[in-house]
C-alpha cells in the first residue's frame, strides 16, 4: 500500500469521510477571494482584508515554509432533523452544524492523531500545520482541487455523497504526495433554489456570499446591532441559518446519518432570555453557539421573541431590558417590545 493510501485509510479510521491531496500551487480561488474583499462583502470581518490575511492566503507556505502537500479532509455532521412539523410557538432555531460538540475541538484532536499516524507511516517526524476553519487558507478551493466536491451557488463545498452538511479542515505537510484530480463537475447545473430561498438575498451570482446580508454572519460573527431591515427575515433563528442548504436537492439525497444533538435544536425562547451569563456558559461553552457570546445570544433571542407574535414574552423582555446594560442587546429588546405591544 502506498503512503498516500495509508494516509487516506488512517484519516478514515479517525472519522474523516473524504480525503484529498493537492500541491501548494497554484492557489485555487485566490482572485475570487480578493474580488469578494474588494466588493466589501466581508462586512465587519476586517481581519480577512488584512495584509497578513491576503499574503497567507496567497501562499500556504507562509504558515508552513516546508509545505509540499495540502491534505483536505471532510467531516460530516447531521442535517436538521425532520420533525414532521414546525417547532412549537415560542421556540428558537439553531443551525444544524452547531448542535454537536464544537467541531474546532473535535477536528483539532483528529488532526493531532493523524499527524502521529503519518509520522509512523513515514518513519520520521513530519513538519505539519493543521487548519480548522479559522486559519487563513482558501480551504474550499483546495478541497475542490483535491477532488472532494464542487463549490455550490451558495459558496459552500458540495460533496456528491455528503452534500454540504460537512466541515472542512486541512493538514499542510512537508511530504511530497501525488495530487488527486480536481473535481470538475458542477452539480448545481441550472438550479437556483438556494438563491431564491435565501431570506435576505445574500447569495451573489459569482457563488460568493454578501456577509452584510447573510443571517449566519449577522447572528454569529457580527457583534453589533442587526440592521432593522433584516430582523423580520430572521424569524426564529437565534444562531445561524440553514435555509440555502435545506432547500438544496443534493442535500436531500445525502448519506449523512441523523443523531441526537448535544443541545436542543429548537431552544425555548423564554428560558433562553432568562439565562444568566454563567448559565449560558455552562450550556453552550463547548458548542459552536459559544461563538456568538452572551450578548450576541441575547440579542438574537430578543429579535426571535419580537418575531414570535407571543405577547406573553412582553414581561420577560421588559425585565431583560432593565437587566441588560449592553446597548446592542437593549436595542434588540426595545425593537422586540415595539413589535409585540
CB atoms near residue 56 (< 10 Å) = 17
Report the half-sphere exposure of 148 (CA within 13 A, side-chain side).
35
Q: Is 34 exposed, middle or buried (0-12, 13-18, 19+ CB in 10 A)?
A: middle
Let me know the angle formed at the C-alpha of 158 by 153 and 159, rounded to the nearest 5 degrees: 160
Q: 237 Cβ partners below 8 Å, 6+ apart?
A: 92, 93, 95, 215, 219, 300, 304
C-alpha dihedral, 263 to 269 to 272 to 273, nearest 10°: 160
List 59, 133, 323, 326, catalytic entry: 133
Cβ contact 136:47 at 8 Å: no
Nine-digit cell at 284?
A: 453552550
Cβ contact 336:317 at 8 Å: yes
Residue 173 to residues 11, 68, 111, 115, 225: CA-CA distances in angstroms? Answer: 14, 6, 12, 9, 41
Residue 331 known to be catalytic: no
Nine-digit cell at 237?
A: 433563528
| H-type alpha helices, 59-138 | 103-122
Positions marked active-site: 133
Amino acid at each position: 500500500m502506498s503512503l498516500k493510501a495509508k494516509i487516506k485509510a488512517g484519516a478514515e479510521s479517525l472519522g474523516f469521510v473524504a480525503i484529498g491531496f493537492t500541491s501548494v500551487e497554484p492557489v485555487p480561488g485566490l482572485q475570487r477571494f480578493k474580488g469578494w474583499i474588494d466588493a466589501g462583502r466581508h462586512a465587519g470581518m476586517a481581519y480577512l482584508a488584512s495584509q497578513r490575511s491576503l499574503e497567507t492566503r496567497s501562499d500556504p507556505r507562509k504558515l508552513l515554509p516546508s509545505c509540499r502537500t495540502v491534505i483536505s479532509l471532510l467531516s460530516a455532521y447531521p442535517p436538521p432533523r425532520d420533525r414532521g412539523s414546525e417547532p412549537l410557538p415560542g421556540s428558537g432555531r439553531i443551525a444544524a452544524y452547531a448542535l454537536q460538540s464544537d467541531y474546532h475541538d473535535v477536528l483539532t484532536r483528529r488532526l493531532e492523531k493523524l499527524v502521529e499516524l503519518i509520522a509512523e507511516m513515514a518513519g520520521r517526524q513530519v513538519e505539519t500545520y493543521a487548519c480548522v476553519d479559522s486559519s487563513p487558507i482558501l480551504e474550499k478551493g483546495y478541497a475542490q482541487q483535491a477532488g472532494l466536491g464542487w463549490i455550490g451557488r451558495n459558496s459552500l463545498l458540495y460533496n456528491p455523497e455528503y452534500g454540504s452538511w460537512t466541515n472542512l479542515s486541512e493538514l499542510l505537510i512537508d511530504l511530497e504526495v501525488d495530487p488527486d484530480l480536481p473535481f470538475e463537475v458542477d452539480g448545481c447545473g441550472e438550479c437556483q433554489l438556494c438563491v431564491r430561498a435565501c431570506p435576505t438575498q445574500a447569495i451573489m451570482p459569482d457563488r460568493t456570499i454578501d456577509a452584510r446580508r447573510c443571517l449566519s454572519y449577522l447572528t454569529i460573527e457580527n457583534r453589533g446591532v442587526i440592521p432593522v431591515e433584516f430582523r423580520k427575515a430572521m424569524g426564529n433563528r437565534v444562531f445561524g441559518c440553514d435555509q440555502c442548504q435545506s432547500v438544496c436537492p443534493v442535500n436531500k439525497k445525502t448519506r449523512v446519518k441523523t443523531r441526537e444533538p448535544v443541545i436542543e435544536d429548537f431552544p425555548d425562547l423564554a428560558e433562553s432570555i432568562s439565562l444568566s451569563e454563567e448559565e449560558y456558559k455552562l450550556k453552550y461553552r463547548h458548542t459552536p453557539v459559544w461563538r456568538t457570546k452572551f450578548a450576541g445570544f441575547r440579542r438574537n433571542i430578543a429579535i426571535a421573541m419580537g418575531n414570535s407574535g407571543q405577547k406573553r414574552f412582553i414581561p420577560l423582555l421588559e425585565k431583560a431590558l432593565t437587566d441588560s446594560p449592553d446597548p446592542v442587546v437593549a436595542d434588540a429588546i426595545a425593537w422586540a417590545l415595539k413589535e409585540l405591544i
